[in-house]
Structure 1
Amino acid sequence: MIGKNLISGFASSGVTALLGFLFVPLYIKYLGIESYGLIGFFATMQAILALLDMGIAPTMNREAARISVLGRRIELGNLLRTLSVIYWIIGTLVLIVIIALAPFIATHWLQSSGIDSTQIIRSIMLMGLVFFCRWPIGLYQSTLVGMQRITTASFLTIGMSIISNFGALITLAYIDSTIEAFFIWQALVALLNVALIHWITWGRFKEKGTFSIQSLKSVWKFSAGMSGIAFSSIFLMQLDKILLSKMLSLKMFGYYSLAVIFAGSLSILIGPIFNVIYPRLTALVAEDNEKKVFEFYMVGTQILAGFIFPAAFFLAFFSEDILYCWLKNPTTVAQVAPIASILFVGSVINGAMIFPYALQLAHGITRLPQIIVLSLIGVYVPLTYFLALNYGAIGGALAWLILNALYLFYGPWLTHKYILKNSAMRWLCQGVLQPAIIALIATFLGSYFLREVDFHFQNILLGCSIALSLILINYFLLPKPLRSKLNLLNRVFRG
């Protein structure tokens, strides 16, 4: 089941990322980099507004996994009905507020020299409509993931991504090449998406559930804890973009947003893995089998790190070649590549931390991630402001890298004071640093001595060869006899 879910998650993320790679250059062609900056601003705004989730979606994921194991489907239906009502109320209020604040945002926050303020105001209002239509999707996706219906959720995501991107391109190319037309299409697709996932999710229940205050009371403590984590985590993840959207011109913010999109390709690897390991760890913790929890935790981390670090360092050291083949625009590549390279390194460190984070949530200990994130925010705010003020977009990326380097050492130390005690150094050195250092040295040397200027496609093939070789090397460095490695992998992913 885990292997099937993992493949489904990879397929969903992979297709979504591939579509982004195919269509982003075309969006920039029809809209321009400044209008693309508005798309980047919407992505930031949408991430910030996710704070209003108040921990509901991750709580639903956990409860769906837990209650499904116990077979209490009616209780789960009541909880979903209750939380969905809350979701729709929040979405309506947000839409009203965004429409009201649109003129202020357009004239006092965003800095544009090439787009009329009236057009920006209309675009921001449409952003509110898109958010309203997309908002409940996360709740239903979390329910399906928690119920181990990741394949269903993945196929729906793939379908909607195809419709969203192809439809937007047709709209821009043949109907209206304005940013308003782009957001109108996104709103229509989001409305179709939420209708379909609502129907699919409730199709898993024999009874449709009723609104229940008791259901809300049963999860409010965990949800409140997750809300605190979400608030601090999203603030942490979006701080650079919040500051840079104000400090940079809309054009430069467009370049930074493009770098963020490019660096976000790592989520193809990391996102689906978390969606699989979190419910699995939750189930193992519920069985009260610490030995199995520790084995899954350690072996999973080693496999993850041995895969994502070679991939990330390939993307970082060969970013210029990849971007040139992707965008075909030397000016844009020169602006985006240095930012993206730094973001990749910071993001892969952050990705390695999904196992400690999932372990904390599986034990229901929301206090630990709150403490960790709030501590990091105390460092990140002044660091980001100082570096962004002095170095602009590059400074924002550097702050992200430094932050995650601190997180890598601080997070496991605090986690293993309370869970799987005295495992921090083993997890860090054996699970993360060993594959990371091997990948860093090998990829740096390969790019420094073998990379050829202006031979972009050949350089990409070189980088891929290095990354694939490193993945194999890290796999065979797993601390088990060679003949037992396949059995170990099967145990981890078969569950």
Structure 2
Amino acid sequence: MKKNIVANFIGKFWGIFSNFIFIPLYIKYLGFESYSIISFILIIAGIIAILDSGLTATLSREFARNDNKEEDRIKIYKTLESVYIIVVLLSIVGIVLFSDIIADNWIKVKSYTPSQVSGFLKIISIDVGFQLLLRFYMGGLFGLQKQVMANVYQMLWGMLRNGLVIGVIIYYPDLNTFFIWQSAATLIFTFLMKASLDKIVYKRKINFLFSIDKNVLKNVSHFAGGMLLIAIVAAFNTQMDKIVISKLLSLESLGYYTLAVSLSQGMLAIAGPIATAVLPNFTAYYSLKKITEAKDLYNKYALYVSILIFTFLSNIIFFTKPLLWAWTGNLEIVNHVYIILPIVASAYGFVMLQVIPGQVAIANGYTKLNNVLGILSIFITFPGYYFSIKYYQAYGAAVVFLFVQIISTFIYIYFINRKFIKENLLNKIFFKQIFIPFIIAFLVSFMLSRIPQIFSESRIISFIWIGIATFLTLMVTSVIVLPREEIKRFFKFKN
């Protein structure tokens, strides 16, 4: 499992590295207004992700089940893939049909006409649509424990899509070129990933024969339907703040807010790889009724996630301005984002605390709690975002987002523990797995932030010092919090 975790960390680290390296370069060569349009495109991608319908999670879960035979996996894969291709085509057609309406009524920018913006949306529909299919195939590889292969593909796709495009926009600095390049890169890697997954599942070369088995749809409909509702609710809860900002404030405000979100989502690269690696194990344990093993796995990796999340979150909070300066080198951006970043980062920190309990829920096919909490939170976020953004701008959106995530996290952990883990909630989970790592990481990070930074004007040295502070925080917190035998076992690299 640890090999998969390392592979996932490397893959997710590329996402963090991409944000740090490429976003400032996009702003430099395309301009901040163009980056604001890119930010709006990300909202559309998040909404279109609803069309996933839970099929990616369903494929990964079904591939990971130990009680599925090989012929069952083939039927499941062929059926879900066929449905997914229909979903992708619908998403592309939908974006193209509504591109003029969106450009005329939602996006207001000085440098581009509505017809130009509409053209951007038509181009990016290919990228947004085929990203769904690409992640579907990636989910299949993860479910089959081919996580090293999946991460290699993910990194190469990111290099082509987000990295090499820099060389192109240096000479052709326009959004048409940018979006065409990204769409082409996604198309290429979608077919490459399909070819690899087909070879594993069918034991032969790529297969373009599609069919839909009604029995498969019937068997997975409950789980997939629950995941669809989760996706719809999640889209409201994760995109609503950005949608309202883009409507009530300037597109530049959306750009600043998205920068804070992009940096905060780096924590996905911390918890995400662990969650991805443990899901097949949770699924296998619960399918075989090995409850004790599942409980031990939960306690172990929930503690790992807490240590990692609070380490990075504390350093983001106490080094906000130096981090933004080291990242962008733009004082105007620093002055607009530094107030928002600690709040948004804290919100995503609490979101990440839900990932291990969430994998337990998925392994058991349990989606009800996610949907209930998500729907209830909409009654807070919908009016909350509107009034908070109207009176307090992007800062108000960040505060509402944080408040909802704090409440949701503790409620979610409580019910997942009660239903599946059955651990001592206050002492084992809230105190030892959350409160203690939080206090230690924040104390260590705070003390390190008080050390005078002699070379604070150097972006490179500032970034290096923040990295050292983060590493020291992680080491001290781990040594204090983790059991001694766990530290020894970890460095021996044994499961």
TMscore range, shorter length: over 0.9
CA deviations over 1:97-124 (Å, ceiling 9, x no partner): 2112111111111122232222111111
Q: Which residue of 2 aligns with 1:433?
A: 435
Deviation at 1:494, TM superposition (A): 4.8
In structure 2, how many angstroms separate the alpha carbons of the residues matched to 1:325 and 1:36? 19
Counterpart residue type for residue 429 of structure 1 = F
Residues 1:465 and 1:16: Cα distance change in structure 2 (over 3 Å): closer
Q: Which residue of 2 aligns with 1:472?
A: 475
In structure 2, how many angstroms separate the alpha carbons of the residues matched to 1:75 and 1:345? 43
User: Does structure 2 conserve the Cα–Cα contact (< 8 Å) formed by 1:56 and 1:83?
Assistant: yes
Q: Which residue of 1 aligns with 2:84?
A: 87
Q: Which residue of 2 aligns with 1:255?
A: 256
Are 1:202 and 2:201 an aligned pair? no
Equivalent position SS for 1:111: coil
User: Does structure 2 conserve the Cα–Cα contact (< 8 Å) formed by 1:318 and 1:459?
Assistant: no
In structure 1, how many angstroms separate the alpha carbons of the residues matched to 2:182 and 2:383? 36
Q: Which residue of 2 aligns with 1:337?
A: 338
Equivalent position SS for 2:128: helix
| 1:433-472 pair list within 5 angstroms | 433-448=435-450, 450=452, 454=457, 459-472=462-475
Are 1:179 and 2:181 an aligned pair? no
In structure 2, how many angstroms separate the alpha carbons of the residues matched to 1:456 and 1:168? 24
Are 1:34 and 2:33 an aligned pair? yes
User: Does structure 1 conserve the Cα–Cα contact (< 8 Å) formed by 2:310 and 2:349?
Assistant: yes
Equivalent position SS for 1:477: helix
In structure 1, how many angstroms separate the alpha carbons of the residues matched to 2:494 and 2:104? 55
Aligned residues: CA RMSD: 2.1
In structure 2, how many angstroms separate the alpha carbons of the residues matched to 1:27 and 1:144? 31
User: Does structure 2 conserve the Cα–Cα contact (< 8 Å) formed by 1:314 and 1:464?
Assistant: no
In structure 1, how many angstroms separate the alpha carbons of the residues matched to 2:391 and 2:278? 40
Q: Which residue of 2 aligns with 1:100?
A: 97
Counterpart residue type for residue 22 of structure 2 = F
Counterpart residue type for residue 416 of structure 1 = N
| 1:88-167 pair list within 5 angstroms | 88-167=85-164
Moved more, 42-51 or 202-211: 202-211
CA deviations over 1:306-342 (Å, ceiling 9, x no partner): 1221112112221221221221111112112222222
User: Does structure 2 conserve the Cα–Cα contact (< 8 Å) formed by 1:23 and 1:165?
Assistant: yes
Q: Which residue of 1 aligns with 2:418?
A: 417
Counterpart residue type for residue 436 of structure 1 = F
CA deviations over 1:201-258 (Å, ceiling 9, x no partner): 1010236585322221111111111111221122211121111121221122112222
User: Does structure 2 conserve the Cα–Cα contact (< 8 Å) formed by 1:416 and 1:424?
Assistant: yes
Residues 1:90 and 1:137: Cα distance change in structure 2 (over 3 Å): same
Are 1:193 and 2:189 an aligned pair? yes
Residues 1:313 and 1:63: Cα distance change in structure 2 (over 3 Å): same
Residues 1:488 and 1:353: Cα distance change in structure 2 (over 3 Å): farther
Equivalent position SS for 2:202: coil
CA deviations over 1:244-275 (Å, ceiling 9, x no partner): 12122112211222222122211221221111
Structure 1 segments unaligned to the other structure (5+ residues): none
| Percent identity of equivalent pairs | 24
In structure 1, how many angstroms separate the alpha carbons of the residues matched to 2:274 and 2:4? 9
Equivalent position SS for 1:135: helix
Structure 2 segments unaligned to the other structure (5+ residues): none
CA deviations over 1:137-180 (Å, ceiling 9, x no partner): 11111110000001001001111111112332122122x21111
Counterpart residue type for residue 182 of structure 2 = Q
Moved more, 447-456 or 25-34: 447-456
The count of residues paired between Structure 1 and Structure 2 equals: 488
In structure 2, how many angstroms separate the alpha carbons of the residues matched to 1:340 and 1:251? 16
Moved more, 386-395 or 70-79: 70-79
Deviation at 1:457, TM superposition (A): 5.2
Residues 1:422 and 1:376: Cα distance change in structure 2 (over 3 Å): farther
| 1:12-91 pair list within 5 angstroms | 12-66=11-65, 69-70=66-67, 72-91=69-88
